[in-house]
């Protein structure tokens, strides 16, 4: 994220006044348990939106002036308190009333900055629940061990979203593996498993970007949650991605396409034009003075290259020989120039890690930020051919691409020539992962112009914009990183027992454990009362005192307090189920004095 080195004097004065005003507003507010989010990008926006609308809790957002212009405005969310600070330090955390906060989410795109803020926050409030966004998860696990009491929850939005983009690019279901007590589940297509192994019907994805989640009619769902059954030969434990190697065309075709990739188009046309003149003149010689194919070929070649001519006493033949001599004089330098240009371009491409020759059946990945870096790594591990594009040579994933030997093109992906350099005509899929929706859409449209049936996967923040793109341009595959990752961050802040997040198109389902409290609405109710179509489905019940859960319980089984439900739910469905499972409030029997 770029930072502005200084602010103008007027801007500094207005900024300082706003900071002081925010501090006074927060200081004069009440002491309710609230939630603090430090960040300004799309992930922070989705987290705050989930906290405000799904969990209905007060939220304070810490904003710094170092923001990109394309980031969503968190101030437009209702009921959110904004604290603007120069940097995230002790004064900023105190201004956000961290001492009365229930949880703090540090979601800036800066691992070191988030770690420093987490250590500082724990000093100011030892009991605050910390949720930290990290790209380097190894570093994140090391940081967790530094906290002896209640270590922070470390999450990576890139790690959550990358498998979904890879699966969509390869035309497969994201093989989410869910490990729960005594059973391992996985997400798959219904036709890939036996009917008795299906645990829960997840979604009907017949209409792209408009899935029917947790349908009431189980048979409608084509995406299901199934159990791993090693004894069942018909059941596959998980969809296996096919290892795709770089495929080359036939030798002659490969050579010709390789020459086209390293020689400029004007030089190609000039050489082809002169060769055509030579062939026409040779054909005319054979027609005028028949000598046999080999003899005519020999005469044409010698005349073109060496300038030798035979004495035929025929003015037409002499004219054709003169044409061949002139063509040879021009052709030899052009061929030499083409060879030199090809060698130089090939060496430059090799030194810079770019694509040296056209390939096919590969995946083009645009944008090497956090998510793009994860995507190229996963595709490389799956042995799928990859070509990476980014306009910034110092992008996070550029170093990884060079280390892995992945062809890297530094350029604007919204330009047709950049995509042509990445062999878009023969690629398997194009995955646009830059943080700019417009750039992603332009790249997709250029790719579709070259190849109308190209499989395109877009990263788009706005769901309504994604629907318009689908209708206008027939681009059916789009995902939002923030929408995929935000539920996990929000659930961690609320201390919810969320075991897994399952992405379904541009939506997510949560697998969570819900305890049934005494006197709750679900206390004494059947399992069917907790199953709500489109919101929640119970897949297991762990009765009090029992070591193992009961899977796929009957709809008439009664629930009692201290039972634990394992459910698959939407965000709203989880929130409603938690409310219905919450213990009834204790009513005091002490008589109140008369006023």
Per the domain annotation, does 65 fall within a domain?
Answer: yes
- Amino acid 209: pLDDT: 65
Same domain flag for 276 and 313: yes
What pLDDT sits at residue 298? 67
Of 352, 374, 407, the residue at which a domain comes to its end is 352
Residues constituting the chain:
595
CB 533 within 8 A of CB 487: no
The first and second tokens of residue 356, run together, are 């040296």
pLDDT for res 430: 94
Instruction: Flag whether 298 is in a domain.
Output: yes
Q: Do 401 and 332 share a structural domain?
A: no
Spatial separation of the C-alpha atoms in residues 301 and 19, rounded to whole Å: 83
Same domain, 326 and 437: no
CA distances to 80, 203, 509, 556 from 49, in Å? 9, 24, 17, 36
pLDDT for position 132: 92
- Tell me if 131 sits within 8 A of 106, measured CB to CB: yes
My answer on whether 18 and 142 are in the same domain is: yes
- CA 19, 25, 29 angle in degrees (round to 5)? 145
Please say whether the beta carbons of 91 and 64 come within 8 A: no
Same domain, 62 and 17: yes
- DSSP assignment letter at 86: S
- DSSP class per residue in 342-406: HHHHHHHHHHHT---S--BS-EEEE--SHHHHHHHHHHHHTT--EEEEES-TT-HHHHHHHHHT-
Question: pTM for the complete prediction?
Answer: 0.67
Residue among 72, 23, 30 nearest 486 (CA): 72
Q: Is there a single domain that holds both residue 347 and residue 386?
A: no
Domain co-membership, 348 together with 367: no
23: domain CATH number is 3.40.50.720
Q: CA 37, 64, 84, 433 torsion: positive or negative?
A: negative
Q: Quick check: is 426 in a domain? A: yes
What's the pLDDT score for residue 537? 92
DSSP state of 228: -
The pLDDT of residue 584 is 79
Provide the CB-side half-sphere exposure for 118 (13 A, CA): 26
Give the integer Cα–Cα distance in Å for 280 and 54.
Answer: 76
- Could you write out the DSSP letters of every residue in 432-485? E--S-HHHHHHHHHHHHHH-TT-EEEEE-S-HHHHHHHHHHH---EEE-HHHHH
Residue that terminates a domain, selected from 479, 501, 526: 479
Judgement on whether residues 16 and 150 belong to the same structural domain of the protein: yes
Determine contact, residues 77/58, Cβ cutoff 8 Å.
no
Same domain, 30 and 141: yes
Contact 118, 132 (CB under 8 A): yes
Non-local (6+) Cβ contacts of 136 within 8 A are 111
pLDDT in tens, 89-114: 999 999 999 999 999 999 988 888 89
End-to-end Cα separation, the chain, in angstroms = 61
Q: Specify if 548 maps to a domain.
A: yes
Question: Could you list the residue range(s) of the whole structural domain that residue 198 is in?
Answer: 173-227
What sign does the CA torsion over 557, 562, 566, 572 have? positive
According to the model, what pLDDT value does residue 75 have? 80
Taking Cα atoms as reference points, which of 238, 221, 232, 224 lies closest to residue 184?
238
The number of domains in the chain is 5
Same structural domain for residues 222 and 326? no
Q: Is there a single domain that holds both residue 424 and residue 470? A: yes
- Is 220 inside a domain boundary? yes
Q: Is the dihedral of CA 54, 156, 203, 510 positive or negative?
A: negative
- CA-CA distance, 590 to 544, in Å (whole number)? 32
Q: Which of 450, 479, 508 is the last residue of a domain?
A: 479
Q: 3-state secondary structure string, 556-584? A: CCECCCCCEEEEEECHHHHHHHHHHHCCC
pLDDT tens series, the chain, 595 aa? 333 333 344 444 444 454 444 444 444 444 457 999 999 888 899 999 988 888 888 999 999 876 665 667 788 888 899 999 888 899 999 999 999 999 999 998 888 889 999 999 999 999 899 999 998 878 877 777 777 677 888 888 888 888 888 888 888 776 667 777 678 888 888 888 888 888 899 999 887 667 889 998 888 888 899 887 644 443 343 433 433 344 444 444 544 455 555 556 666 777 777 777 777 877 776 777 777 777 777 677 667 666 666 656 667 766 766 677 677 667 677 777 666 666 665 555 555 445 555 678 899 999 998 899 999 999 998 889 999 999 888 888 898 998 888 989 888 888 888 888 888 888 999 999 988 888 888 899 988 888 888 899 998 887 777 778 877 787 878 888 888 888 889 888 988 777 778 888 778 888 888 899 889 999 999 999 999 999 999 999 998 878 788 888 888 999 998 899 999 998 888 888 888 988 877 655 555 555 4
Q: In what order do the strands lie in the sheet with 363-366?
A: 408-410, 386-390, 363-366, 429-432, 455-459, 477-479
The single-letter DSSP state of residue 141 is H
In the prediction, which pLDDT does 55 show? 82
The verdict on residue 528 lying in a domain is yes
Query: Which residues have C-beta within 8 Å of that of residue 314, sequence separation ≥ 6?
Result: 288, 289
> Is the same domain home to 130 and 18?
yes
Inside any domain, residue 408: yes
Per the domain annotation, does 118 fall within a domain? yes
């Amino acid at each position: 994220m770029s930072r502005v080195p200084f602010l103008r004097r007027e801007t500094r004065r207005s900024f300082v006044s706003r900071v002081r005003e925010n501090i006074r507003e927060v200081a004069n507010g009440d002491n309710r348990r609230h939630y603090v989010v430090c960040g300004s990008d799309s992930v922070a926006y989705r987290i705050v939106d989930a906290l405000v609308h799904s969990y209905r809790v007060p939220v304070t957002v810490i904003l710094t002036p170092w923001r990109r212009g394309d980031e969503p405005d968190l101030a437009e969310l209702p009921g959110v308190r904004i604290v603007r600070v120069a940097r995230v330090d002790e004064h900023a955390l105190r201004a956000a009333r961290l001492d009365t906060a229930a949880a703090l989410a540090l979601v800036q795109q800066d691992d070191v900055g988030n770690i420093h803020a987490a250590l500082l926050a724990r000093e100011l409030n030892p009991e605050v629940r910390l949720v930290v966004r990290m790209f380097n998860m190894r570093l994140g696990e090391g940081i967790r061990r530094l906290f002896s009491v209640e270590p922070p929850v470390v999450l990576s939005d890139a790690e959550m979203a990358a498998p979904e983009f890879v699966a969509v690019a390869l035309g497969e279901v994201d093989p989410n593996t869910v490990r729960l007590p005594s059973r391992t589940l996985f997400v798959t297509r219904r036709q890939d498993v036996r009917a008795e192994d299906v645990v829960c019907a997840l979604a009907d994805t017949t209409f792209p970007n408009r899935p029917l989640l947790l349908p009431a009619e189980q048979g409608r769902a084509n995406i299901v949650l199934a159990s791993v059954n090693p004894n069942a030969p018909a059941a596959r434990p998980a969809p296996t991605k096919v290892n795709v190697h770089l495929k080359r065309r036939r030798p002659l075709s490969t050579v010709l396409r390789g020459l086209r990739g390293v020689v400029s188009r004007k030089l190609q046309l000039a050489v082809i034009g002169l060769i055509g003149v030579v062939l026409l003149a040779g054909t005319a010689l054979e027609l005028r003075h028949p000598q046999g194919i080999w003899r005519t070929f020999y005469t044409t070649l010698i005349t073109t290259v060496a300038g030798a001519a035979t004495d035929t006493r025929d003015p037409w033949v002499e004219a054709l020989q003169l044409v061949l001599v002139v063509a040879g004089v021009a052709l030899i330098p052009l061929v030499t120039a083409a060879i030199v240009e090809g060698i130089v371009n090939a060496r430059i491409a090799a030194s810079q890690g770019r694509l040296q020759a056209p390939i096919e059946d590969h995946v083009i990945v645009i944008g090497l930020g956090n998510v793009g870096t994860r995507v190229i790594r996963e595709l490389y591990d799956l042995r799928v051919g990859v070509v990476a594009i980014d306009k910034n040579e110092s992008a996070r994933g550029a170093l990884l691409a060079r280390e892995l030997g992945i062809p890297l093109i530094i350029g604007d992906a919204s330009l047709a020539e950049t995509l042509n350099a990445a062999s878009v005509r023969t690629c398997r899929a194009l995955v646009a992962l830059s943080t700019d929706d417009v750039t992603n859409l332009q790249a997709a449209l250029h790719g579709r112009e070259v190849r109308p049936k190209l499989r395109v996967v877009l990263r788009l923040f706005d769901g309504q914009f994604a629907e318009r793109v689908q209708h206008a341009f027939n681009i059916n595959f789009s995902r939002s990183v923030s929408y995929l990752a935000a539920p996990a961050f929000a659930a961690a802040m609320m201390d919810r027992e969320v075991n897994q997040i399952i992405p379904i198109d541009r939506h997510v389902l949560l697998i969570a454990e819900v305890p049934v409290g005494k006197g709750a609405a679900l206390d004494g109710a059947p399992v069917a009362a907790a199953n709500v179509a489109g919101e929640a489905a119970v897949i297991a019940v762990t009765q009090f005192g029992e070591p193992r859960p009961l899977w796929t319980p009957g709809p008439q089984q009664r629930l009692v307090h201290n039972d634990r439900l394992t459910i698959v739910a939407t965000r709203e469905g989880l929130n409603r189920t938690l409310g219905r499972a919450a213990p009834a409030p204790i009513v005091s029997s002490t008589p109140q004095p008369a006023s």
